[in-house]
A and B are shown apart, each in its own frame.
Chain A
Amino acid sequence: MNPVLEIDALSVTFCGKQAVHAVDRVSFSLGGGEILALVGETGCGKSVIAHAVMGLLPGEAQVSGRIVFKGRDLLALSERERSAMRGKDCAIVFQDPSRALNPVHRIGRQIAEPVLIHGAGSREEAHRRAAALLERMGLSPPGNYLPLYPCQSSGGMNQRFLIAASTILDPSLVIADEPTKGLDPGRVREVEDELVRLTGGGRTALLLITHDLAVARRIADRIAVMYAGEIVELAENDAFFDRPSHPYSRGLLQSLPEHGFVPIPGSSPSPVSPPPGCRFQARCRDGKAVCGGQHPDLVSAADGRMVRCWQCR
């Protein structure tokens, strides 16, 4: 089966006073029904990838590489074609629903809006679809929820409404950018269930962007770890959490509460002038001479995972 989304050597550079290399030759593919979690720390470039796929980058961003969505290279399309696709065939769920939802309109109208914008049905049809969607999400009777305003429901509920609004047109690709940030633990679970349900049909692919490894562990099929603009490890969920290979992945897992908050020393390198060799070398416990001199490639290891490290070969 063809993948829904295939990203090949995607690089994004922001040209300001200094060129900032936000994303550097990132490649991965995503099939229908699959959840790929893109994890990493602030500034590692994970949100930039989401924005590049959606075509939402600002004008000073230089994008190279290929983003193939259902056989079409998105970077070769005109803005009009991309805008017709946005929200219809590929959708994005932003963090912070209190800002993404319009406080002066009712939930029902906001969920139904994409149907009207993309001319996919009449007003009645749109509302019928919104009601049916909420029913499928287990929010019944939908009549209780459609007339609410965003301020009348919790952050977690609003995030679910936002997911509903993003997915009412049944897109093939959903990008969720930190969908659980700032929610209380109980609410996080609700949103997770919603995301899993979305991909349950086997058609929709989900690109989950998160810094919360616990969320990624619970719902993702594969994990891609980003560090300083690059993917440093790409592995199946179990393989990754049981046996992380890259020293950065190991450090990241060690700093989780269940492993006693063991920190990684130092901080990420500057995206303006990344070091020539391995970008993690300065903070790595088992760095050797070769690590500082030559830049490692992302290569396949024995169990199918991909790792960017000289020591893991």
Chain B
Amino acid sequence: MRAMDALKSTNRGAMALLAVFLCMAAFPSLIAPYGPSERSMPYQAPGPEHILGTTNMGNDILSELIYGARISLLVGFASALLATGIGLAVGLTAGYFRGALDEVLMAFTDVVLIIPKIPLIIILAAFLRPGVGILILVLGALSWESIARVVRSKTLQVRETGFVMSARCMGFPPLRIMASDIVPNIIHVVLPKFMLATAAAMISEASLSFLGLGDPSMESWGAMVSSAFTKGGFIREMWWWYLPPGICITLCVLSVAAIGFAFEEGEGTTVRVE
């Protein structure tokens, strides 16, 4: 019981944390003390005017931090959504129809599974014009395979249950059976996967931005750390420049992952009383 309570309270903490980040992403102009293009003296230390000081360009670091949430979350959730969509489609098709289609799709999935992700993303990002859209597309298209595998194995299970067999027997079309009988009964395994994919995509985005392969027009958290390193923040020991975005990435990923784990736990602990 105590373990359950602990789990619930972490879950609540994670939700609250994620809510804060979502607010930052949704209404940055209301929360941030300065606009993204407002400049003042560069390299300021934290003070009453600028709580976290200013950058080499004289931008307010706190405001940049708040505006950065949008990119991180957008890339995270959008690419996870894409990955979940592809994973669901592939897994459902393979698991429901089985046979040759299943074998072809799963062989393809295995091929995608062994592609080294980060190196490929770096290469793609270097060749293609860097941009948020491309980043989402690439991250999404490369991280669906574990979702597809889980969805397929669950689908194989659910398709043998009485209600799916009866639906087939009554002549409901396959697409309708998948959408209305199978998906609602496997969504509980997809949700935690979705959250974990979001967390992974956020880390990938931060890494790529840190390497300078992100969208140069948008200052994401990874890009902030990167510019702190390259534009003299590190040499001047301005820890208030490079630590906060690092902490934000960590906390945001942590909250998303914790919610994902809580979903996963919740699936195991639902008890049916007869």
Q: A residues within 8 Å of B by Cβ? A: 14, 16, 20, 42-43, 58-59
1/0 per residue, CB under 8 A from A, across B45-77: the answer is 000000000000000000000000000000000
Closest Cβ of chain A to B98, distance in Å, is 24
- Find out whether the CB atom of A20 lies under 8 angstroms from the CB atom of B1: no
Closest Cβ of chain A to B269, distance in Å, is 12
- Find out whether the CB atom of A14 lies under 8 angstroms from the CB atom of B273: yes
- Taking CB as reference atom, which chain B residue is nearest A20? B273
Shortest 7 CB-CB distances between A and B: which pairs?
A59-B1, A43-B274, A14-B273, A16-B273, A20-B273, A42-B274, A58-B271
Distance, CA A20 to CA B274, complexed state (A):
10
- Taking CB as reference atom, which chain B residue is nearest A47? B274
- Taking CB as reference atom, which chain B residue is nearest A22? B273
- Taking CB as reference atom, which chain A residue is nearest B1? A59
Distance, CA A42 to CA B1, complexed state (A):
28
Distance, CA A245 to CA B271, complexed state (A):
38
Distance, CA A16 to CA B273, complexed state (A):
10
- Taking CB as reference atom, which chain B residue is nearest A43? B274
- Taking CB as reference atom, which chain A residue is nearest B274? A43
Distance, CA A20 to CA B273, complexed state (A):
10
- Taking CB as reference atom, which chain B residue is nearest A14? B273
Distance, CA A249 to CA B4, complexed state (A):
43
The majority secondary structure among interface residues of chain B is: loop
Closest Cβ of chain A to B182, distance in Å, is 25
1/0 per residue, CB under 8 A from A, across B233-274: the answer is 000000000000000000000000000000000000001011
Inter-chain contacts of A42 with B (CB < 8 A): 274
Inter-chain contacts of B1 with A (CB < 8 A): 59
Distance, CA A59 to CA B2, complexed state (A):
12
Inter-chain contacts of A58 with B (CB < 8 A): 271
Distance, CA A59 to CA B1, complexed state (A):
8
Q: B residues within 8 Å of A by Cβ? A: 1, 271, 273-274
Inter-chain contacts of B273 with A (CB < 8 A): 14, 16, 20
Distance, CA A12 to CA B1, complexed state (A):
20
Inter-chain contacts of B274 with A (CB < 8 A): 42-43
Closest Cβ of chain A to B258, distance in Å, is 25
Distance, CA A43 to CA B274, complexed state (A):
7
Inter-chain contacts of A14 with B (CB < 8 A): 273
- Taking CB as reference atom, which chain A residue is nearest B271? A58
Distance, CA A197 to CA B39, complexed state (A):
90
Distance, CA A14 to CA B274, complexed state (A):
11
Distance, CA A42 to CA B274, complexed state (A):
9
Distance, CA A16 to CA B274, complexed state (A):
12
Inter-chain contacts of B271 with A (CB < 8 A): 58
Distance, CA A164 to CA B273, complexed state (A):
30
Inter-chain contacts of A43 with B (CB < 8 A): 274
Closest Cβ of chain B to A45, distance in Å, is 11
- Taking CB as reference atom, which chain B residue is nearest A58? B271
Distance, CA A242 to CA B271, complexed state (A):
41
Closest Cβ of chain A to B4, distance in Å, is 10
7 contacts between A and B (CB under 8 A): A14-B273, A16-B273, A20-B273, A42-B274, A43-B274, A58-B271, A59-B1
Distance, CA A59 to CA B271, complexed state (A):
12
Distance, CA A43 to CA B273, complexed state (A):
10
Distance, CA A187 to CA B271, complexed state (A):
32
Inter-chain contacts of A16 with B (CB < 8 A): 273
Closest Cβ of chain A to B268, distance in Å, is 15
Distance, CA A14 to CA B273, complexed state (A):
9
Closest Cβ of chain B to A266, distance in Å, is 20
Distance, CA A59 to CA B273, complexed state (A):
13
- Taking CB as reference atom, which chain B residue is nearest A60? B273
Closest Cβ of chain B to A99, distance in Å, is 16
Distance, CA A305 to CA B273, complexed state (A):
33
Inter-chain contacts of A59 with B (CB < 8 A): 1
Distance, CA A43 to CA B271, complexed state (A):
16
Distance, CA A43 to CA B1, complexed state (A):
26
Distance, CA A18 to CA B34, complexed state (A):
55
Distance, CA A250 to CA B1, complexed state (A):
44
Distance, CA A112 to CA B264, complexed state (A):
35
Closest Cβ of chain A to B264, distance in Å, is 21
Closest Cβ of chain A to B217, distance in Å, is 54
Distance, CA A229 to CA B194, complexed state (A):
45
Distance, CA A19 to CA B271, complexed state (A):
16
Distance, CA A20 to CA B1, complexed state (A):
21
Inter-chain contacts of A20 with B (CB < 8 A): 273
Closest Cβ of chain B to A119, distance in Å, is 28
Distance, CA A59 to CA B3, complexed state (A):
13
Closest Cβ of chain A to B228, distance in Å, is 51
Closest Cβ of chain B to A233, distance in Å, is 24
Distance, CA A16 to CA B271, complexed state (A):
12
Distance, CA A251 to CA B271, complexed state (A):
33
Closest Cβ of chain A to B3, distance in Å, is 12
Distance, CA A42 to CA B273, complexed state (A):
12
Closest Cβ of chain B to A229, distance in Å, is 14
Closest Cβ of chain B to A71, distance in Å, is 31
Distance, CA A106 to CA B28, complexed state (A):
62
Distance, CA A59 to CA B4, complexed state (A):
12
Distance, CA A166 to CA B169, complexed state (A):
44
Distance, CA A305 to CA B1, complexed state (A):
43
Closest Cβ of chain B to A208, distance in Å, is 21
Closest Cβ of chain A to B42, distance in Å, is 61
Distance, CA A266 to CA B1, complexed state (A):
39
Closest Cβ of chain A to B142, distance in Å, is 35
